[in-house]
């Protein structure tokens, strides 16, 4: 009867058998070799199929270059925003669309030069023997590869495969795209080197480089790309600020062609230096333009004054006229110059104030110094306003965030507001100075009116002439000053380390890393599979499993049979397998002696479930007893699935069932075998009530008769885990052998055995581990000492088992299962 303890399947299952896991892992060595081979093959294919990727960098310094000609008297002020602002501005500019458009256009990087390789198309920019000069004002084929083959050093062939009757074209001057009608199929045409190609879809001149090397019959591909897409790719330029030096920037790019990376990095920095210097010189250029416009007007006034003076001097005594007004001439001229300077300042303030209120672009403001203004606040604020206005115009091409525009607009508004206040304050002060000058001039003019009329007219003409001449001299001085400043200006961006291909820079594919990953993958994946199998497979694997699950003694380990029948001991008495059964016989005799059992001995074999090898063990244990000339009988008491008769070529017409129902005598059901001293009683026909027959009185009579006639009675019983027949028979036996099979018997079945032993349902139980393989997938090396598996140490003692061919094993495993 089943007890609740029978269902304690998870008892003693908490410990991890690390040793067993290692042994199981080692037994799958072929899996690991296969995994390594596959993983390394994949890594090799990845390494040879992927293009090499390089990363190169250049380093620049951002430092405000002060013009050595600037002195305390130099009134032109140039400031690009300060170093900290410059670094951020430069980082933004380098990634801006407008900047990268200029660089891509200058380098013609929308043209790809390629060459077909075994696994990929390689970018061969910089290593081709030729280059093409396209006509940017005309259509160029967009996106389709143009195959070029040099049929001779001076002639090449163009081949384009058109898959439809139309092709996309692009005009790089306007960046406009269009569709051009073409003939479907291959377009092939030859051209001379240097000859202009004029086609509806292609307009270029192909030139050979200096020292091109051998290029005849070489094949290349030229492809025109979308300008905007190319610019977008180069906007991914990495710009990093040095942590230790905030004015140092590192520019880096990744790609498959080092020459292309080097050219772009250096070109983008040179373009930045040019634009930065242009922005820095913008103040000076605005000043020069303002002065040139003023000088044009003043030169006209000077000519008029000069002509007027010539006309007045005719037929007059100029010396006498000049002498009479000599006292007042220098005084009035000085006052005229002062008044003109004051008026120019007031006019500049009025013009600047009106410009600030009515305009939004402040990048064209002239320097205040041209009007003689030296107020440091106004000078600085005008400079800042120009710088901010330039920055905002550049951001329009690179920044999409409205917040950033709002921030810089707020800065411009704040500077403009402060500048307007400065202008109002300065204008009030200069107007007071203007009133004082006018008062002095009124006094001087009052004195002049006392002179003769010709002297007054002469002084009037000379005032205009001297004023124009003085103003022109002052403006020429300012212009020269601005020209000197502009010429002496240096870019605030300087190369520290230009980009250069020095042979390194490879970042991928990292072949070594790929192989290391492959090795780890090739080992870990099989290991995980073994680990999974280890936990999924809950079957008995070795003797340690048995000893950890039960205290019932293990008296023998039986290996795998290699014979076609179960008569392994009889057919190969000197084999290692036969020795393992002899070892079990010795252990049984020891048990019998220990229990002081004399006379006939009854041995019962049972197991948990069908298929664990009870019949095989019963036959061979009986055989080793018979070979020792002991009268032995095997009684087939598995009445539900009789099968012991097949191995002896006997019939199962009559057997134990016939005796138990009273139809036959013991002599009638006993059958002799070809093994001396060994008889067999088959189970006979399958009865409807096998358990009742075993529990009947006739079973006791049968056992008594057998014990009187034989030295050893071997009972082959049904699995105790399925039916209770073996439990009913346990009262007749001296020793019970419980057969377990490697990789078959479940560990939880051992708990059922333990419970039956605890309840005294089975007596004198010992365990036999059947089907043990020295090369099994788990437990190799276990079982030594049980008479089987001594390996090389058994030479000369056992008959060698012929090793089966792998293909033959595979054939048997498939076709025998089908049978």
Given 536, 565, 595, which residue is the final one in a domain? Answer: 536
- List C-alpha distances in Å: 626 to 670, 674, 710: 16, 11, 11
Q: Is residue 745 part of a domain?
A: yes
- State the average pLDDT over residues 52-80: 62
Q: Is residue 76 part of a domain?
A: no
Q: Is residue 258 part of a domain?
A: no
d(CA 286, CA 351): 15
pLDDT in tens, 142-168: 999 999 999 999 999 999 999 999 999
Given 206, 225, 244, which residue is the final one in a domain? Answer: 225
- State the average pLDDT over residues 228-236: 89
Q: Is residue 428 part of a domain?
A: yes
More confident residue, 367 or 607: 607
**142/189 same-domain check:** yes
Task: Look up the domain containing 775 and give its range.
Answer: 543-818
More confident residue, 15 or 412: 412
**666/813 same-domain check:** yes
**615/593 same-domain check:** yes
More confident residue, 453 or 542: 542
**118/193 same-domain check:** yes
Would you say residue 429 has pLDDT above 50?
yes
Q: Is residue 315 part of a domain?
A: yes
Percentage, residues of the chain above pLDDT 90:
29
Place of tokens 């040095």: 242
d(CA 454, CA 442): 20
**527/557 same-domain check:** no
CATH number for the domain harbouring residue 722: 3.40.50.300
| pTM summary value | 0.57
**696/613 same-domain check:** yes
How many domains are contained in the chain? 4
Burial (CB count <10 Å: 0-12, 13-18, 19+), residue 339? middle
**576/680 same-domain check:** yes
**427/469 same-domain check:** yes
Q: Is residue 704 part of a domain?
A: yes
For residue 244, the model assigns a pLDDT of: 78
Task: Find the Cα–Cα–Cα–Cα dihedral 770, 772, 778, 782, rounded to 10°.
Answer: 110
Would you say residue 265 has pLDDT above 90?
yes
Q: Is residue 446 part of a domain?
A: yes
**294/393 same-domain check:** yes
**455/584 same-domain check:** no
- List C-alpha distances in Å: 594 to 44, 585, 787: 67, 14, 21
**465/527 same-domain check:** no
For residue 7, the model assigns a pLDDT of: 42
For residue 463, the model assigns a pLDDT of: 66
pLDDT in tens, 324-378: 556 666 767 777 777 777 777 777 778 778 877 777 777 667 667 666 677 777 8
**192/153 same-domain check:** yes
Phi and psi (nearest 5°) for 242?
A: -60, 130
Given 477, 503, 536, which residue is the final one in a domain? Answer: 536
Tokens of 261: 């990376």
Q: Is residue 47 part of a domain?
A: no
Tell me what the pLDDT averaged over the chain comes to: 80
pLDDT in tens, 289-302: 777 777 777 777 77
Are 35 and 529 a contacting pair, CB within 8 Å? no
């Amino acid at each position: 009867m089943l007890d609740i303890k029978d269902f304690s399947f998870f008892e003693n299952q908490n410990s991890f058998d690390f040793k067993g896991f290692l042994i199981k892992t080692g037994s799958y060595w072929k899996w690991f070799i296969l995994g390594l081979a596959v993983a390394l093959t994949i890594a090799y294919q990845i390494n040879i199929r992927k293009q090499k990727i390089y990363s190169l960098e250049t380093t620049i310094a951002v430092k405000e270059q002060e013009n050595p000609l600037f002195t305390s008297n130099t009134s032109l002020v140039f400031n690009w925003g300060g170093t900290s602002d410059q670094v951020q501005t430069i980082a933004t500019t380098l990634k801006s669309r407008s900047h990268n458009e200029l660089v891509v256009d200058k380098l013609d990087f929308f043209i790809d030069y390629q060459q077909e390789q075994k696994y990929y198309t390689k970018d061969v920019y910089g290593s081709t023997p030729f280059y093409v000069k396209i006509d940017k004002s005309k259509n160029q084929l967009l996106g389709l590869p143009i195959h070029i083959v040099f049929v001779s050093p001076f002639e090449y062939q163009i081949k384009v495969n058109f898959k439809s009757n139309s092709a996309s074209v692009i005009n790089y001057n306007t960046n406009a795209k269009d569709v051009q009608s073409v003939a479907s199929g291959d377009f092939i045409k030859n051209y001379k080197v240097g000859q202009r190609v004029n086609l509806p879809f292609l307009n270029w001149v192909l030139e050979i480089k200096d020292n091109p090397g051998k290029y005849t019959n070489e094949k290349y591909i030229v492809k025109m790309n979308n300008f905007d897409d190319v610019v977008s790719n180069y906007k991914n330029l990495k710009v990093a600020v040095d942590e230790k030096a905030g004015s140092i920037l590192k520019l880096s790019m990744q790609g498959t062609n080092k020459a292309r990376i080097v050219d772009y990095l250096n070109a983008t920095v040179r373009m930045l230096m040019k634009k930065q210097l242009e922005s820095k010189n913008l103040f000076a250029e605005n000043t020069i333009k303002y002065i040139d416009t003023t000088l044009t007007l003043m030169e006209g006034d000077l000519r008029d004054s000069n002509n007027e003076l010539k006309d007045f001097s005719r037929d007059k005594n100029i010396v006498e006229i000049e002498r009479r007004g000599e006292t007042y001439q220098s005084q009035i001229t000085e006052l005229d110059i002062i008044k003109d300077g004051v008026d120019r300042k007031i006019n500049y303030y009025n013009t600047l104030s009106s410009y600030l209120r009515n305009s939004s672009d402040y990048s064209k403001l002239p320097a205040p110094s041209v009007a003689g203004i030296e107020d440091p606040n106004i000078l600085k604020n005008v400079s800042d306003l120009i710088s901010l206005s330039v920055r905002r115009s550049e951001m329009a091409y690179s920044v999409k965030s409205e917040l950033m525009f709002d921030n810089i607009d707020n800065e411009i508004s704040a500077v403009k507001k402060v500048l307007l206040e400065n202008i109002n304050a300065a204008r009030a002060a200069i107007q007071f100075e203007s009133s004082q000058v006018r008062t002095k001039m009124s006094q001087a003019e009052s004195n002049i009116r006392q002179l003769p009329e010709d002297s007054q007219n002469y002084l009037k003409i000379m005032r205009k002439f001297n004023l124009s001449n003085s103003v022109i001299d002052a403006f020429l001085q300012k212009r020269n000053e601005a020209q000197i400043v502009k010429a002496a200006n240096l870019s605030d961006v300087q190369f520290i380390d230009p980009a250069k291909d020095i042979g390194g820079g490879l970042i991928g594919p990292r072949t070594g890393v790929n192989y290391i990953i492959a090795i780890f993958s090739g080992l870990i994946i099989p290991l995980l599979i073994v680990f999974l199998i280890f936990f999924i497979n809950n079957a008995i694997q070795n003797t340690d499993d048995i000893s950890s699950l039960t205290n019932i003694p293990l008296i023998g380990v039986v290996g795998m049979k290699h014979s076609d029948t179960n008569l392994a001991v009889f057919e190969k008495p000197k084999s290692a397998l036969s020795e393992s059964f002899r070892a079990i016989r010795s252990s049984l005799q020891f048990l019998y002696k220990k229990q002081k059992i004399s006379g006939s001995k009854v041995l019962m074999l049972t197991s948990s479930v069908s298929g664990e090898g009870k019949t095989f063990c019963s036959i061979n244990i009986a055989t080793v007893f018979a070979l020792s000339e002991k009268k032995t009988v095997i009684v087939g008491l598995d009445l539900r699935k009789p099968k012991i008769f097949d191995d002896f070529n006997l019939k199962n017409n009559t057997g134990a069932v016939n005796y138990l129902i009273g139809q036959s005598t013991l002599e009638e059901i006993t059958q002799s075998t070809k093994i001396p001293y060994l008889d067999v009683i088959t189970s006979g026909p399958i009865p409807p009530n096998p358990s009742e027959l075993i529990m009947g009185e006739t079973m006791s009579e049968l056992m008594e008769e057998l014990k009187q006639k034989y030295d050893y009675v071997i009972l082959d019983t049904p699995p105790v885990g399925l039916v209770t027949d073996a439990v009913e028979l346990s009262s007749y036996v001296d020793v019970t052998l419980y057969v377990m099979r490697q990789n078959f018997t479940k560990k939880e079945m051992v708990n059922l055995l333990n419970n039956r032993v605890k309840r005294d349902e089975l007596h004198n139980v010992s365990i036999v581990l059947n089907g043990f393989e020295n090369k099994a997938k788990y437990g190799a090396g276990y079982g030594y000492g049980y008479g089987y598996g001594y390996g090389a140490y058994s030479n000369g003692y056992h008959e060698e088992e012929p090793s089966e061919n792998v293909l033959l094993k595979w054939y048997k495993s498939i076709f025998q299962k089908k049978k």
